[in-house]
Amino acid sequence: MNLTLHVWRQKGPNAPGKLETYDAHNVSPDQSFLEMLDEVNEGLIKKGVEPIAFDHDCREGICGMCSQVINGVPHGGQDRTTVCQLHMRSFKDGDNIFIEPWRATAFPIVKDLVVDRGNLDVIIQAGGYTSCHTGGVADGNALLVPKPEADYAMDAAECIGCGACVAGCPNGSAMLFTSAKVAQLAVLPQGKAEAAERVNSMTEALKECGFGNCTNHYECQASCPKGINVKFIAKLNREYLKAIAS
């Protein structure tokens, strides 16, 4: 296939940016989107042009680093698919493809398609953990967890922190991300002791980092490559009301 790429180029956080056009020739339908970008970058380097900067790591749909908005949709819009799992067979010969970084106030652009998602770490550090005494390792069956609660927690724990929910939300909200982290611990015995402190701290960090509020567009769920359900936002709201009422 031969494709025309319109890629956002920006030298730095304070530099002006714009879409620049590149041709991608002889693209194999079996390539991943990132492999296609690798080949385009090889061609740019040979021409003496600075390659396109983009994040990537595992290339197995696990790490969430490959954050790109493709044709206006985070990760390209396929169901439960990250950019590294998006294959070029999804496109047709002659297609124009627009590639941009996450667009959110809380995710400042570092360079080209790379954004700083450190504010998600700030939310995690505010309370996305359980405190425990160190010492001897407890028996695995010492604290029993009913299967429905374990399944619920595992569904929330699928979140890989890629930020697609923020990029897809018209408000730039991180409510789905935060709610997954809160809900994961809220239903487990290990998380109940600090539940009130956790939800208060994490929601406060959410606001301080500049993320928007949730207004139920559901774009977060649609954009999530792991299919995190908006039911966790309802759980976050319930936990928050319980905390401020206690």
Q: pLDDT tens digit string along 160-183? A: 999 999 999 999 999 999 999 999
In whole angstroms, what is the distance from residue 19 CA to residue 51 CA? 14
Q: Residues 86, 90, 91, CA angle at the centre, nearest 5°?
A: 120
Tell me which fold the domain 3-100 belongs to: Ubiquitin-like (UB roll) (3.10.20)
Query: What are the structural domain ranges in the chain?
Result: 3-100, 116-245
Give the span between the Cα atoms of 156 and 159, in whole angstroms: 6
pLDDT(105) > 90 = yes
Phi then psi for 88, rounded to 5 degrees? -70, -10
Give the span between the Cα atoms of 69 and 55, in whole angstroms: 12
- Homologous superfamily of the 116-245 domain (CATH): Alpha-helical ferredoxin (1.10.1060.10)
Q: How many CA atoms lie within 13 A of 100 on its CB side?
A: 17
Intra-chain end-to-end CA distance of the chain, in Å: 61
Residue 134 has pLDDT above 80, yes or no: no
* Mean pLDDT calculated for residue range 45-56: 97
Mean pLDDT of the chain: 95
List phi, psi (to 5°) of 51.
-70, 160
Find residue 73's DSSP bridge partners: 70
Q: Tell which residue, 148, 244, 224, 246, has the closest CA to residue 179.
A: 224
